[in-house]
Structure 1
Amino acid sequence: MIDFWTFVLRALILAAAYALAIGLSGYMVRYFVLPPGVKSSWPPMDGREMPAGGWPRFDPSVVIGKCENIITLTFVLTGNYAGLALIFAAKSLVRTEAIKQNPGFFLGGTLVNLVWGLAVGLGARGLLMLT
């Protein structure tokens, strides 16, 4: 049986892992994928016309990236590494046109997210094994 403080410590490790993976992934993607000095902004300020219904509340790429983080971290923490292929399959189905237009950005962002999620997840698994 697990004692109370061990349970609390494990819960804190899991909460910190999700906060770290989700909170810092955007910085990691911008650092490794965007050219130096380029700032991303939402809504886009690159001269695109506003859609009839207005811009979405959040940048769809950011939302997709955060979902990738949650899925990646969950798969790593549960030891379901084969499930990580789901991320690439879903991304290539949903964002086919965007990937064709800018493969470095979309595939690079996905790979950075995957590596970041793996690093955080494996670190959290290691800490959980010590408790």
Structure 2
Amino acid sequence: MTVLLRLLFAHVISDFVIQSDNMCNGKQGKTKKKYVYQLLHSFIHALMAYIFVADWSNWIIPLTIFISHILMDYIKVEYMKKNAASFIIDQLIHIAVIVILWLSIFNQDGTFNQEFFKTEWNSLNMWVVAIAYLLTLKPTSVFLSLFIKKWTPPTIADRSLPNAGKWIGYFERILILTFILTGNAEGIGFLLAAKSIFRFGELSKAQEIKTTEYVLIGTLASFTIAILIGFTVLQIIK
């Protein structure tokens, strides 16, 4: 089971931590240079999978990851629209490839170098929590930006600090997940109240109804995802 979690961890790190905005935009460019970005991105995924699984003699894992990402990136760029549905489909396909790969290798008992890993490295709970924190960061941020895109006011970017909303979302979801995992879920209420005072107070004064609704949708969606991740983790590790 920990092998599957390592593969998922490598996927999240490669897709949402190592991959920069420039690389993401480069993959979808209109010149042939986009193929270089796609190859580089696929190589990073393969390398991370190879490192985290650490079965140094087994090239099936990185090769499968590399080929699947090359194919999926090409299909996504050439034939799919950039929206929330495409994002979900893309991630589900990658996860399906990882699960199938894990199942096929898991049946070959004894292929993994277990001496390489410490007890903590093989801990199910550690990997579940690590993946949960990763998911609350850029993966959730990317999904939310696609989800609320159609409601985004045209001048919202001009009235806020660069990337401020993204980092506010990161911190709030980390806090929510930490509150839940430490048994202090009541802290979520105080966090929501504090954010409401600072963000909704000014907006209501300015009577900017559309902007208020936009911020409210984003906030509630962000809180909901973090809470769902938190309680899902509790169910897995208890």
Q: TM-score of the superposition, structure 2-length normalised?
A: 0.42
User: Does the C-alpha gap of structure 1 residues 8 and 77 become closer, same or farther in structure 2, counting only changes over 3 Å?
Assistant: same
**Equivalent in 122, 133, 150 of residue 18 of structure 1:** 133
Matched to 1:33, the amino acid is I
Q: Which residue of 2 aligns with 1:52?
A: none
| Contact 1:17 1:124 survives alignment (8 Å) | yes
- Runs of 4 or more off by more than 6 Å in structure 1? none
Structure of larger gyration radius: 2
**Segment drifting more, 87-96 vs 104-113:** 87-96
Residue 223 of structure 2: aligned partner: 114
Of 136, 147, 154 in structure 2, the residue corresponding to residue 32 of structure 1 is 147
Unaligned runs of 5+ in 1: 50-54
What is the identity, as a one-letter code, of the residue corresponding to 1:84? I
Instruction: Please give the alpha-carbon distance, in whole angstroms, between the structure 1 residues aligned to 2:203 and 2:163.
Output: 14
Three-state SS of the structure 1 residue aligned to 2:186 is: helix
Q: Which residue of 1 aligns with 2:165?
A: 61
Two-structure CA RMSD over aligned residues (Å): 3.0
Which residue in 1 is equivalent to 2:181? 77
Give the whole-Å Cα distance in 2 for the aligned partners of 1:80 and 1:28.
26
| C-alpha distance 26-98 of structure 1, shift in aligned 2 (>3 A) | farther
Aligned to 1:97: 202
Shift of 1:12: 1.3
Please state how far the C-alpha of 1:64 moved relative to its aligned partner.
Answer: 0.7
Counterpart Cα distance in 1 of 2:219 and 2:191: 8
| SS state at 2:183 partner | coil
1:83: Cα distance to partner? 1.2
Total equivalences in the alignment? 115
Give ranges in structure 2 of 5+ residues lacking alignment. 1-118
Work out which structure has the larger RCO, using CA pairs closer than 8 Å and 6 or more positions apart in sequence: 1
Question: Displacement of 1:80 after TM fit?
Answer: 1.9
User: Residue in 2 aligned with 1:88?
Assistant: 192
CA shift in 2, pair 1:5/1:92, >3 Å: closer
More helix by share: 2
Partners of 2:191 and 2:220 in 1: CA distance: 10
Amino acid at match of 2:229: V
Tell me the distance in 1 between the aligned counterparts of 2:213 and 2:188: 20
Q: Do the aligned residues in 2 keep the contact of 1:28 with 1:112 (CA within 8 Å)? A: no
- Distance of 1:112 and 1:118 partners within structure 2: 10
The share of aligned pairs that are identical, in percent, is 26
- Give TM-score, length-normalised by structure 1: 0.71
Aligned partners of 2:139 and 2:203: how far apart in 1? 24
